[in-house]
Amino acid sequence: MEFTHRTYEKGQTIAAVATPPGEGGIAVIRISGDEALDVADKIFSGSIHSYKTHTVHFGNILDENGAFIDEGLVIVMRTPRSYTGEDTVEIHCHGGTLITQKVLKAALRSGARAALPGEFTCKAFQNGKIDLTKAEAVQQVIASKNSLAMQAAENQLQGKLYKTIASFQQKLTDIAAILEAWVDFPEEGLEFASHEEMLTMLTAIIERMQHLLATFHEGKRLQTGLSICLLGAPNVGKSSLMNAIVGKDRAIVTDIPGTTRDILEEEIEMAGLNFRLLDTAGIREAEEIVEREGVRRSIAAAKEADLILLVVDISNPSIDSDLMAILPKGQTLLVWNKTDLKAADELPKLPFEAVRVSAKNYEGLEELKEAVHQIVWKSGPPSKEEVVLTNERHFQSLDRAIQATQKVSLGLQEELSPEFLTSDIRLALKELGTIIGVNITEDILSAIFSKFCVGK
C-alpha cells in the first residue's frame, strides 16, 4: 500500500499507544498537542489542569461517557519540558489489547486524532527539541539488532553526527564569507586569505568529509547485516554445521547425499553483526530435476553472499573444479569439517584462510567465529567514539556536498571569478543542512517519519 502523505501539523493534538501490542504488565497511551490536557481531563477522574508538570497521579480511567475502563496512572508534562515540546500526557493502564484500545478510543473520541507513524518524534524535531539526525537515530536505536548497530545509533542520538556536520558547515561558512568579501570588495585590496590558504582550508575540509563518507560501507553493515552461505559437496556436513552454529536442529541431517534440496535460512548474531546464515544444496552433477534446481539456487546464493563458508570433509577432501571457479578469495573461508574422523593423508592446498571444526562434536566453533570476525573486520570494528554513517540519505547528501566543495577547490586552482564559486559553496551548505534538518522539505520529512512505528 502506498504511503498517503499528510502534513505534520504543529500543535495538533494526537494520541497513540506507545508500547508494543499484546499482553503485558502495563501499556502506555501518549497524548500530545495544544489540547492534550483537555483531552486527558475528559477521560481521567482527577483534575489534570491542576497537576504540576512532571508529576504522577493515580485515578480511574474513563471512557468519553464517564464509564469506568481501568485504574491507572497519568503523567503530565507541560510545554516545553516534554519529548515533543508540547503539552503531553501519558496514561499508564494495565497491559492488554482490549484495555489499551478502549483507552485510546476514549482519547480519540475526546478530541485527539490518531497519530501518524513517527509523529511524536516529528513534533520533537519541529519544536526544536532534537535535530533530524537525532530524530532518525531514535528509530535506529529501536530497530538495532546487534550491539554495534546500537552503539552507532546511540552515538548519533547523543548528537555526535550533528556536531560533525555542524563543524563542516562552520568551516564552509567561513570560506563562503571570504569569497563573498572578494565579490563585494574587489577593489578594496583587502586580503582576508590568500588563494593558497583557501586551497589548504578546502583540502582539509574535503578530506574530513571524505573520511566520514567512507564509514558508510561499515555503517550499512551494522544496520542491514550480512549473508553467509554454506557451500560444498553433498554430505560434507553443511547442515550439521548450520545446526551447530545456531544451536538447534534447524536443518535435517542424514547420511543420504542430497538431503538438502532448497535453501534454509536462519538469523544469527556473530562478530558483532547480524547474519543471514544460508544452508544450501550440495554441489554435484545431479540428474534428478529437483536436486538440479537446488544446486542452481545454491550457486546463485553463493554469488550474492557477503561471505562463503566452503565446507569440505577433511576425511574425503574432494572439491569440484567448477565450484572453485566461482569462489572469491577475499570472501571465502575454508572449513575443514569432520575433524572427529581421520584426516586424509594429503589435503589440497587452497588459496583461502582455513579453520578446522567438528560440527558433530561442536568443536572449533569459536575459532570459526573468530575467523569470520577477522574477514569481516579486516581493520577492526568501529570504535565506541567513532561517528559512522548508517543512513543512505545522509550518505547521498554528504556525497553531493563533497562534490560541490571539490568544484570550489578546482575553481580556485583555475582562478575562476568568486561569483562562480559562491554558488557551489552554497550548494554544499544546503546539502549538509538537509542532513541535520535545515531547509528540509515536507516530502522528505514524510518519507523519514513514515518508517517509524506509531506511538514514537
The Cα–Cα gap between 73 and 26 comes to 10
Query: How confident is the model over 60-99, as pLDDT tens digits?
Result: 999 988 999 999 999 999 999 999 999 999 999 999 899 9
By the 10 Å C-beta count (0-12 exposed, 13-18 middle, 19+ buried), 208 is classed as middle
* pLDDT at residue 289, rounded to an integer: 60
Q: What is the rounded average pLDDT of the residues 436-455?
A: 73
C-alpha grid cell for residue 353?
Answer: 584462510
Please indicate if the annotation marks 281 as binding a ligand.
yes
Please indicate if the annotation marks 236 as binding a ligand.
yes
Please indicate if the annotation marks 41 as binding a ligand.
no
Question: What is the per-residue DSSP string for 29-63?
Answer: EEEESTTHHHHHHHSBSS-GGGSPTTEEEEEEEE-
* pLDDT at residue 186, rounded to an integer: 54
- H or E element: which one contains 170? helix 160-184
The Cα–Cα gap between 163 and 72 comes to 41
Please indicate if the annotation marks 306 as binding a ligand.
no
Nearest partner of 40 among 12, 64, 23, 24, judged by Cα: 64
| pTM recorded for the entire structure | 0.74
* pLDDT at residue 237, rounded to an integer: 83
* pLDDT at residue 75, rounded to an integer: 97
Q: What is the rounded average pLDDT of the residues 217-241?
A: 82
Q: pLDDT confidence of 432, banded at 50, 70, 90?
A: very high
- pLDDT at residue 259 greater than cutoff 70: no
Burial 348-380, CB ≥16 within 10 A → b, else e:
eebebeebbbbbbeeebbeebeebbeebbbeee
The Cα–Cα gap between 415 and 402 comes to 20
Query: How confident is the model over 94-117, as pLDDT tens digits?
Result: 998 999 999 999 999 999 999 998
- pLDDT at residue 346 greater than cutoff 90: no
The Cα–Cα gap between 198 and 134 comes to 32
Please indicate if the annotation marks 90 as binding a ligand.
yes
Please indicate if the annotation marks 127 as binding a ligand.
no
Nearest partner of 454 among 74, 80, 104, 87, judged by Cα: 104
Nearest partner of 296 among 308, 284, 309, 306, judged by Cα: 284
17-31, 269-283, 424-438: range with lowest mean pLDDT: 269-283
Please indicate if the annotation marks 238 as binding a ligand.
yes
Query: How confident is the model over 189-218, as pLDDT tens digits?
Result: 555 667 788 899 999 999 999 999 998 888
- pLDDT at residue 4 greater than cutoff 50: no
The Cα–Cα gap between 345 and 56 comes to 75
Please indicate if the annotation marks 237 as binding a ligand.
yes
Please indicate if the annotation marks 227 as binding a ligand.
no
* pLDDT at residue 271, rounded to an integer: 67
Please indicate if the annotation marks 320 as binding a ligand.
no
* pLDDT at residue 1, rounded to an integer: 29
Domains and CATH numbers, the chain: 14-130 (3.30.1360.120), 137-219+391-436 (1.20.120.430), 228-251+264-376 (3.40.50.300)
Contact (CB, 8 A) for 309 and 230: yes
- pLDDT at residue 258 greater than cutoff 70: no
Q: How far is CA 47 from the centre of its chain?
A: 42
* pLDDT at residue 181, rounded to an integer: 73
Please indicate if the annotation marks 30 as binding a ligand.
yes
Per the model's pLDDT, the better-predicted residue between 252 and 134 turns out to be 134
Please indicate if the annotation marks 313 as binding a ligand.
no
The SS3 assignment for 362 reads coil
Please indicate if the annotation marks 100 as binding a ligand.
no
Residues above pLDDT 90, as percent of the chain: 34
* pLDDT at residue 290, rounded to an integer: 61
Nearest partner of 236 among 211, 253, 219, judged by Cα: 253
- Indicate the residue type of 226: L
Neighbours of 422 (CB within 10 A): 19
Burial 331-346, CB ≥16 within 10 A → b, else e:
bbbbbbbbbeeeeeee
The Cα–Cα gap between 182 and 199 comes to 15
151-155, 289-293, 302-306, 346-350: range with lowest mean pLDDT: 289-293
- pLDDT at residue 3 greater than cutoff 50: no
* pLDDT at residue 250, rounded to an integer: 59
* pLDDT at residue 30, rounded to an integer: 97
Query: How confident is the model over 130-171, as pLDDT tens digits?
Result: 988 888 888 888 877 777 788 888 888 888 999 999 999 999
Nearest partner of 95 among 72, 65, 120, judged by Cα: 72
- Look at the block and give the residue holding cell 480511574: 60
- pLDDT at residue 2 greater than cutoff 50: no
Per the model's pLDDT, the better-predicted residue between 61 and 320 turns out to be 61
The SS3 assignment for 7 reads coil
| Average pLDDT along the chain | 84
C-alpha grid cell for residue 392?
Answer: 543512505
CA gyration radius, the chain: 29
* pLDDT at residue 161, rounded to an integer: 92
Burial 41-56, CB ≥16 within 10 A → b, else e:
bbbbbeebeebeeeee
Query: How confident is the model over 384-400, as pLDDT tens digits?
Result: 778 889 888 999 999 99
- pLDDT at residue 375 greater than cutoff 80: yes
Query: How confident is the model over 37-52, as pLDDT tens digits?
Result: 999 999 999 999 999 9
* Alpha helices (H) along 54-131: 97-109, 119-126
Sign for the CA dihedral angle at 315, 319, 324, 326 comes to negative
Nearest partner of 431 among 456, 408, 455, 415, judged by Cα: 408
* pLDDT at residue 300, rounded to an integer: 75
Per the model's pLDDT, the better-predicted residue between 400 and 7 turns out to be 400
Half-sphere exposure of 271 (CA within 13 A, CB side): 26
Per the model's pLDDT, the better-predicted residue between 243 and 53 turns out to be 53
Please indicate if the annotation marks 109 as binding a ligand.
no
Please indicate if the annotation marks 280 as binding a ligand.
yes
The Cα–Cα gap between 209 and 197 comes to 19
List strand residue ranges (DSSP E) for 65-186, in order.
Answer: 68-77, 88-94, 113-114
* pLDDT at residue 39, rounded to an integer: 96
Neighbours of 12 (CB within 10 A): 17
